[in-house]
């Protein structure tokens, strides 16, 4: 799924590191699952959480067999202006998959003519992409909670892809200091935690990094192609 800050392009590089020491039956948890582009590549026991209720409702319905209908520009505007009048999963689909670059109601994306005269159907593309994920997500437990309230199965592997510090395009404000304290707490309680970010406090070590082109970069702006250094961190000397 196209989603701001998605790790789809690097999932196959970071997952071998994250899952290297995973034991049989060990739970894998994503507190900030978003577009599900990482968790869909993981097998076994999985929990996908996100604080965005419309997003989680959308994923629940999609994995239960719901097929979204096309939404035109007029319907898109109506949904955006009065969210409570529509089913949560429909709002979620319109807000993300019918919007430019997967940004929550970031502008209508439908059919458009390209520079070479062909027609590109963004909503059809979105559904094809999501459909590839759905089959790989059977059995995932979906939750809609603040990350710090999650009840974590004993000694879980946790992968966090939180809102990056210094990037302002996310829907809600995010307390980064509180987040790092939570990571320390759950790490000391026996969980194995990995975090995607551009930077981390000094007691965290970088276990992977790569320069990537992204529409979401460390300068806090979205759109276009920017170069950023994606990094994967874990708590040092745990």
For residues 124-129, give the mean pLDDT. 95
Give the pLDDT confidence of 7-55 residue by residue, as tens digits: 988 999 999 999 999 999 999 999 999 999 999 999 999 999 999 999 9
Nearest CA-CA partner of 158 in 179, 135, 186: 186
Token pair 């990537």 is found at 212
Terminal CA-CA length for the chain? 34
SS3 content of the chain, % helix, strand, coil (to 5): 35, 25, 45
CATH of domain 1-51+145-238: 3.40.50.150
pTM more than 0.85: yes
Integer Cα distance of 82 and 86 in angstroms? 8
Domain boundaries, the chain: 1-51+145-238, 52-137
Nearest CA-CA partner of 28 in 45, 14, 40, 11: 45
Q: Decide if 47 contacts 175 (C-beta within 8 A).
A: no
Q: Which helix (H) or strand (E) holds 104?
A: none
The pLDDT-based confidence of 218 (bands split at 50, 70, 90) is: very low
């Amino acid at each position: 799924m196209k989603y701001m800050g998605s790790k789809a392009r690097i999932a196959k590089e970071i997952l071998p590191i994250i899952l290297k020491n995973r034991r049989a039956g060990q739970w894998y948890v994503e507190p900030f699952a978003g577009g599900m582009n990482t968790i869909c590549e993981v097998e076994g026991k999985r929990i996908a959480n996100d604080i965005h209720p419309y997003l989680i409702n959308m994923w629940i319905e999609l994995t239960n067999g719901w097929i979204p209908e096309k939404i035109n520009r007029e319907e898109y505007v109506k949904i955006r202006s009065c969210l409570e009048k529509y089913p949560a999963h429909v709002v979620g689909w319109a807000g993300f998959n019918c919007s430019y670059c997967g940004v929550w109601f970031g502008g209508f994306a439908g059919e458009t003519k390209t520079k070479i005269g062909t027609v590109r159907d963004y909503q059809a593309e979105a559904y094809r992409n999501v459909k590839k994920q759905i089959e790989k997500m059977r059995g995932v437990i979906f939750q809609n909670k603040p990350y710090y309230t999650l009840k974590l199965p004993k000694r879980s592997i946790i992968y966090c892809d939180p809102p990056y510090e210094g990037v302002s395009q996310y829907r809600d404000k995010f307390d980064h200091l509180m987040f790092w304290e939570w990571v320390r707490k759950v790490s000391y309680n026996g969980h194995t935690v990995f975090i995607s970010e551009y930077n981390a406090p000094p007691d965290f070590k970088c276990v992977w990094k790569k320069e990537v082109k992204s529409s979401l970069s460390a300068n806090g702006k979205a759109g276009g192609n920017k170069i950023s250094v994606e990094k994967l961190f874990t708590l040092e000397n745990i």
